[in-house]
């Protein structure tokens, strides 16, 4: 066997969503973030378009992201749906996290490749980052509130009209015990054809 499948399987099975409210104040070093981003770029991508774009917020830059997210929530949420708790949650996540990575799909010039395949490639890149974070003992949370898909956020991120923001990956060291998880057995999800 080329790799230790037991360790790889453990990392896959132990990847968990851990919310920023459960992150400590311990800082994630830039070298670790670079490792996550480098692993992200090895995701499968049809035609090798590599459609991902990452905008990393660490340190004081998180304040700008927090302010913008809060303002967009207030601007885009109808009055009858507005919740102060949601506003506080969206605004505080960048500060509760050591790192916030805004993940976008940057549409390439090859129109033969459907947009959905570019989105799927970026999702695979995020999974690579989450698995790498798990290996480091970092909590990760891929957040996608409705404002993520707005033209206003796209403008703030300087994305082109054909590009899409796909969420924010928050990272930090957890203050809680690593959560357990479970999945349905494959017998319930799989149809075998011989």
pLDDT at residue 51, rounded to an integer: 97
Identify the CA nearest to 41 among candidates 31, 33, 53, 29.
53
Residue 63 has phi, psi (to 5 degrees) of: -65, -45
**d(C-alpha 43, C-alpha 51), whole Å:** 10
User: What does pTM read for this prediction?
Assistant: 0.95
One DSSP character per residue, 153-187 reads HHHHTT--TT-EEEEEEEEE-BSSPPPP-----GG
Residue 161's pLDDT is what? 92
Two tokens at 187? 């017998």
The pLDDT value given to residue 170:
98
Supply the pLDDT for residue 162: 93
The single residue listed with the structure tokens 């057995």 is 185
Q: So what's the pLDDT on residue 139?
A: 97
**pLDDT tens, residue by residue, 76-110:** 999 999 999 999 999 999 999 999 999 999 998 88
Local mean pLDDT, 10-residue blocks, the chain (194 residues): 91 96 97 98 96 97 96 95 95 97 92 94 98 98 96 94 96 96 94 94
DSSP letter for 60, please: T
4, two tokens = 């230790």
Q: What is the CA radius of gyration of the chain?
A: 18
């Amino acid at each position: 066997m080329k790799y230790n499948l037991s360790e790889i399987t453990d990392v896959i099975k132990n990847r968990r969503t851990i919310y920023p409210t459960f992150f400590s104040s311990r800082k994630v070093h830039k070298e670790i973030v670079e490792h996550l981003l480098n692993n992200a770029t090895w995701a499968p991508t049809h035609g090798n378009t590599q459609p991902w774009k990452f905008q990393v917020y660490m340190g004081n830059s998180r304040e700008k992201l927090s302010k913008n997210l809060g303002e967009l929530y207030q601007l885009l949420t109808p009055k009858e749906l507005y919740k102060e708790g949601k506003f506080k949650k969206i605004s505080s996540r960048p500060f509760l996290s050591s790192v916030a990575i805004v993940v976008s799909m940057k549409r390439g010039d090859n129109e033969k490749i459907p947009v959905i395949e570019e989105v799927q490639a970026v999702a695979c890149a995020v999974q690579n980052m989450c698995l790498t974070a798990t290996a480091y003992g970092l909590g990760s949370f891929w957040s996608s509130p409705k404002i993520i898909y707005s033209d206003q956020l796209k403008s703030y991120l300087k994305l082109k009209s054909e590009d899409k923001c796909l969420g924010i990956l928050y990272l930090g060291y957890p203050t809680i015990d690593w959560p357990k998880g479970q999945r349905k057995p494959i017998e319930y999800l799989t149809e075998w054809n011989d």
